[in-house]
């Protein structure tokens, strides 16, 4: 019988940059866009440790760059293979192809079904689905290059404008919190010129930033295993510059220059247990209602009066990021390599159905 194997599919930053450059993006903007893939750079530094952790569990670890995934997955034994996709993406990134290829070959996967790898990267459409599920997401307008595709909602608190397909951080400048809808249209022109993307325009919501992380090391784990933390970085929201200083190639350079500072993580339950309870209720609704499972994260804004705003969900959370490492240690008492290996081992121990 073949040795069980974990195939981790990742998209490298440099491969993305080269492809974007060939499409005519400037060097600067290609670098900014590709920084979304920083976890592939950071996790590669631990491939040896993950190999060792998997080896202790009699599993072969096969890290595979996305461009090489087709033949690797096509030749894999469905009875002995588990596929873990590190990156989502439908536009600038292509990681959503990996779980689809796995499904085509009848291979087992870690994570959500492949349709969610596309949905989570389209913030306007995912927000519409979350709203239809009755969850507390801010209403949204959609603009492209200075024109409304969907009119902005009314707001007495100002607006927050962000690129639609590049996540909540990429392309955000300090003036992304703006006073009126006309200001948002100005931002939409800048985003379109730089990144060829639409923008989502939402009423600004106050509160502290919260990250909820989930990894089902135990396949039977439910939302009791969710890690819910305030992420206090000293700013109201994270800009592009803030993000690039934390992760990937640019993050490594920042660390070398002494410019790296991890935000503080504080358990929400310690000061606002009602907000913690509400966030777990939302996760309880999303897991069956949307199909989230195995590994995911959610971002919230939480106000002092326990008003909770769901901002987005991710099916490929940043595994090597400081917050996910802290979660693995706090919830599972495992290092990141051991958490990855143990999650895979428990699933590969069960015969495929």
Confidence check: pLDDT of 113 > 90: no
pTM: 0.91
Question: What phi-psi label fits residue 291: left (phi over 0), alpha (psi between -120 and 50 degrees) or beta?
Answer: left
Confidence check: pLDDT of 251 > 80: no
Q: Per residue in 33-81, pLDDT tens?
A: 998 899 999 999 999 999 999 999 999 999 999 999 999 999 999 999 9
Which backbone phi and psi does 224 adopt, to 5 degrees? -65, -20
Confidence check: pLDDT of 317 > 60: yes
* pLDDT for position 250: 55
Which backbone phi and psi does 208 adopt, to 5 degrees? -95, 150
Beta strands 141-144 and 108-110 are unpaired
* pLDDT for position 264: 84
Judged on CB neighbours under 10 Å (0-12, 13-18, 19+), 210 is: buried
Domain 208-334 has CATH 3.30.470.20: yes
Which residues of the chain are in CATH 3.30.470.20 domains?
Answer: 208-334
Question: Which is it for the CA torsion 313, 240, 307, 264, positive or negative?
Answer: positive
Which tokens go with 328? Answer: 């693995």
Tell me 281's DSSP state: H
* pLDDT for position 215: 98
Judged on CB neighbours under 10 Å (0-12, 13-18, 19+), 335 is: middle
Tell me 252's DSSP state: H
Q: Identify whether the C-beta of residue 25 lies closer than 8 Å to the C-beta of residue 16.
A: no
Closest alpha carbon to 215 in 136, 314, 301: 314
Confidence check: pLDDT of 235 > 90: no
Cβ–Cβ contacts within 10 Å for residue 75, how many? 9
Length of the chain as a residue count = 353
Cβ–Cβ contacts within 10 Å for residue 143, how many? 25
Which tokens go with 21? Answer: 């450059």
Which tokens go with 107? Answer: 């291979």
What single string gives the DSSP state of each residue in 74-88?
HTS-TTTEEEEE---
Q: Per residue in 181-204, pLDDT tens?
A: 999 999 999 999 999 999 999 999
Cβ neighbours of residue 134 closer than 8 Å, sequence gap 6 or more: 285
Q: Per residue in 320-352, pLDDT tens?
A: 999 999 999 999 999 999 999 999 999 999 877
Confidence check: pLDDT of 254 > 90: no
């Amino acid at each position: 019988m073949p040795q069980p194997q974990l195939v981790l599919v990742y998209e490298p930053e440099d491969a993305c940059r080269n492809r974007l450059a060939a499409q005519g993006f400037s060097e600067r903007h290609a670098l900014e866009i590709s920084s979304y893939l920083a976890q592939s750079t950071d996790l590669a530094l631990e491939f040896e440790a993950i190999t060792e952790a998997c080896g202790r569990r009699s599993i072969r670890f096969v890290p595979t760059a996305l461009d090489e995934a087709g033949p690797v997955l096509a030749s894999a034994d469905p009875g002995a293979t588990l596929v873990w996709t590190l990156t989502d993406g439908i536009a600038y990134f292509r990681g959503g192809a990996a779980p689809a290829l796995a499904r085509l070959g009848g291979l087992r996967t870690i994570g959500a079904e492949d349709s969610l790898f596309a949905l989570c990267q389209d913030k306007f459409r995912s927000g519409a689905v979350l709203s239809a599920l009755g969850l507390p997401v801010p209403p949204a307008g959609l603009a492209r290059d200075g024109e409304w595709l969907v009119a902005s909602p009314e707001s007495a608190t100002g607006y927050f404008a962000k690129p639609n397909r590049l996540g909540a951080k990429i392309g955000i400048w300090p003036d992304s919190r703006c006073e009126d809808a006309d200001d948002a249209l100005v931002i939409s022109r800048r985003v379109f010129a730089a990144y060829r993307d639409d923008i989502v325009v939402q009423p600004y919501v106050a509160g502290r930033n919260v990250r909820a992380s989930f990894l089902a090391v135990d396949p039977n784990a439910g939302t009791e295993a969710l890690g819910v933390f305030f992420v206090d970085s000293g700013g109201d929201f994270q800009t592009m510059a803030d993000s690039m200083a934390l992760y990937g190639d640019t993050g490594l350079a920042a660390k070398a220059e002494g410019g790296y500072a991890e935000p503080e993580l504080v358990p929400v339950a310690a000061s606002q247990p009602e907000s913690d309870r509400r966030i777990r209720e939302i996760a309880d609704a999303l897991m069956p209602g949307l199909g989230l499972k195995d590994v995911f994260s959610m971002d919230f804004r939480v106000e002092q009066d326990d008003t909770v705003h769901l901002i987005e969900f991710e099916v490929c959370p940043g595994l090597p990021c400081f917050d996910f490492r802290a979660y693995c240690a706090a919830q599972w008492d495992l290092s990141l390599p051991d958490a990855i290996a143990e999650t895979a081992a428990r699933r590969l121990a069960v015969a495929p159905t």
